[in-house]
């Protein structure tokens, strides 16, 4: 996803304000305090209790670096692609047959509803309803095309937005570097499709060791296209792939069936510790990025790290946030 000047300014402002702030008001609950620090309530609910306290203490002691970036995904483009590709093609991209048929049935069911009635059902404008039906018709036509990247229209029916935050607490001593890293995400509204796994990837400089890695994805009821999330079903453990001394990848389902109801991940939290037994005094960084898997061929994720240089790469099968970036001394 392309970075805008406005988002970068927000990132810099967020980092500056938190590194400069000290006081946290008395008489407020831990969640209320974190809301004042700029965290979303769903991010806070996804965090471990110990992480909430450590973030707040670090904020009070001017030891917290907080970096926030954003991602917007195009629901209409994904609907068009779902209607365009055959079951066999989608299976070859890594979808399960159950997920493909669930999504295609939902599309067909919505498309069959008369326009005026669909406007009321989705609580949206006639223009947005027309865009939805046009995307379905365009995909079903099976005309050969090159799908465009980027969001074509912003609304609750056309696109979904995600906030992704990296919070880093400096635990380092004079002789040894140590950093607690907490990654959180929250979707402001449900993305439409849920055929694959999303990924959160973190990487770091200096060959630092890592411990206590855990990722938890929270799932909430998916009621209908364009409708806000329903009740939460709680957290589920993410899978992970480690690249020792370089980084770690966390993966989690976009969609689950829980208690016979449809659910999608609304928020989540990842935490781990980076450390080394001896400090060299060199400068490096920790980076992190969110990847939302889309309907496309050739999904892959990569981490590269050598000395102070580090990078994360996602293939074009992912819509990605900008990278969160925190400077460290190791």
pLDDT tens string 134-184: 999 999 987 765 555 544 444 446 789 999 999 999 999 999 999 999 999
pLDDT digits (tens, 9 = 90+) for 274-320: 999 999 999 999 999 999 999 999 999 999 999 899 999 999 999 99
Other Cβ atoms less than 10 A from the Cβ of 94: the count is 14
Residues 30, 284: Cα–Cα separation, whole Å: 32
What pTM was estimated for this model as a whole?
Answer: 0.88
Q: How high is the pLDDT of residue 113?
A: 94
Band (pLDDT 50/70/90 cuts) for residue 200 is very high
User: What are the domain boundaries of the chain?
Assistant: 5-72+159-329, 73-140
Q: How high is the pLDDT of residue 159?
A: 87
Residues 306, 317: Cα–Cα separation, whole Å: 26
Q: How high is the pLDDT of residue 243?
A: 95
Residues 328, 231: Cα–Cα separation, whole Å: 39
Integer-rounded Cα Rg, in Å, for the chain is 21
Contact 218, 235 (CB under 8 A): yes
CB proximity list for 303: less than 8 A, separation 6 or greater: 201, 203, 243, 246, 247, 249, 310, 311, 312, 313
CB proximity list for 37: less than 8 A, separation 6 or greater: 18, 21, 24, 55, 56, 59, 66
Residues 45, 51: Cα–Cα separation, whole Å: 11
Q: How high is the pLDDT of residue 144?
A: 60
Contact 68, 23 (CB under 8 A): no
Cα 240 → chain centroid: 15
């Amino acid at each position: 996803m392309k970075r805008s000047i406005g988002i970068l300014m927000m990132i810099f402002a967020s980092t500056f304000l938190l590194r400069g702030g000290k006081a946290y008001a008395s008489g407020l609950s831990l969640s209320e305090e974190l809301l004042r620090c700029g965290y979303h309530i769903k991010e806070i609910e996804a965090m471990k209790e110990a992480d909430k306290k450590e973030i707040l203490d670090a904020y009070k002691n001017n030891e917290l670096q907080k970096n926030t970036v954003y991602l917007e995904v195009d629901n209409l483009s994904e609907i068009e692609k779902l209607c365009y590709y055959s079951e066999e093609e989608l299976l070859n991209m890594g979808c399960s047959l159950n997920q493909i048929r669930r999504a295609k049935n939902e599309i067909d069911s919505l498309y069959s509803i008369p326009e005026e009635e669909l406007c009321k059902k989705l609580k949206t404008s006639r223009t947005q309803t027309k865009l939805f039906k046009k995307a379905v018709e365009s995909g079903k036509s099976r005309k050969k095309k090159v799908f465009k990247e980027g969001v074509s229209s912003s609304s609750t029916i056309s696109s979904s937005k995600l906030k992704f935050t990296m919070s880093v607490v400096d635990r380092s001593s004079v002789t040894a570097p140590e950093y607690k890293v907490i990654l959180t995400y929250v979707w402001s509204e449900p993305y439409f499709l849920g055929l694959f796994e999303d990924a959160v990837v973190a990487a770091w400089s200096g060959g630092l060791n890592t411990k206590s890695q855990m990722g938890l994805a929270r799932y909430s009821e998916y009621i209908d296209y364009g409708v806000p999330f329903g009740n939460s079903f709680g957290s589920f453990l993410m899978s992970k792939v480690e690249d020792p001394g370089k980084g770690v990848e966390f993966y989690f389902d976009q969609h689950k069936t829980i208690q016979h109801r449809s659910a999608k991940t609304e928020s989540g939290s990842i935490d781990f510790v980076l450390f080394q037994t001896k400090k060299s005094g060199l400068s490096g960084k920790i980076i992190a990025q969110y990847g939302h898997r889309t309907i496309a061929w050739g999904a892959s994720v990569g981490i590269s790290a050598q000395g102070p240089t580090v990078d994360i790469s996602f293939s074009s099968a992912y819509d990605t946030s900008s990278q969160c970036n925190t400077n460290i001394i190791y």
